[in-house]
Amino acid sequence: MSPALSKPESGPLPQKLLARYLLLLRLYPVLTKAVSSAVLSALGSFLAQIIEKNQKKRGLDLAGPLRFFIYGFFFTGPLSHYFYLYLERWFPSDVPVSIAKRLLLDRLVVAPAFLVLYYFVMNLLEGKDTSAFIKRMKSSYWTSLKMNWKVWTPVQFINLNYVPMQFQVLFGNLVALFWFAYLASVKK
């Protein structure tokens, strides 16, 4: 561990955690966002299972949170990190028209592609074949995308325009944690 990581911070625990997170962001931005995405994605999956377990009296499956951990670490964290960096470069936040352009790009291009990636990676991690992926896409992609637009459009409006860039991935992951719990609570 580097000396910069080992120095103790003073103050209350939330302040210490924030100081540590900011330090890690400065030293290892992609890795920090990948780990935080992985942990929060797995936690969201775990929380969804707890809610579902209470509804259906089923046991917990540790493979689900592990899949979400892998997805968050290798995909959500790094891809979101670079997306927000490029978004700022392509549409600087200090240009008024950029607000609409950023949101439209995210909602009409990135969200649909990210949802396909999610289905594809989860299909692979579940050990399913291509026909299962195609079936899942046909049965739930459009419904999921419409719900994504309803829920995530205001979230992304706030995230892209008011959340400091170093916290955008974390903000999205915190909302996603509750998003997974919500999806589990409304399952039929």
Question: For 119-153, how does the pLDDT look when each residue is reduced to its tens digit (9 = 90+)?
Answer: 999 999 999 999 999 999 998 899 989 999 999 99
More confident residue, 54 or 123: 123
Q: Which range (15-24, 108-117, 174-183) has the least confidence?
A: 174-183
Reported residue count of the chain is 188
When pLDDT is cut at 50, 70 and 90, the band that residue 61 belongs to is confident
The pTM of this model reads 0.86
More confident residue, 184 or 18: 18
pLDDT per position as a tens digit, 5-53: 555 556 788 899 889 999 999 999 999 999 999 999 999 888 888 887 7
- Domains: count for the chain: 1
Q: Which domain holds residue 108?
A: 3-185
Does residue 81 carry a pLDDT above 60?
A: yes
Name the average pLDDT for the chain. Answer: 88
Tell me which residue of 173, 182, 177, 180 sits closest to 84, measured CA to CA. Answer: 173
Helices 111-125, 63-71: axis angle to 10 degrees equals 140
C-alpha–C-alpha distance, residues 177 and 162, integer Å: 20
Determine whether 33 is exposed, middle or buried from the number of CB atoms within 10 Å of its CB (0-12, 13-18, 19+): buried
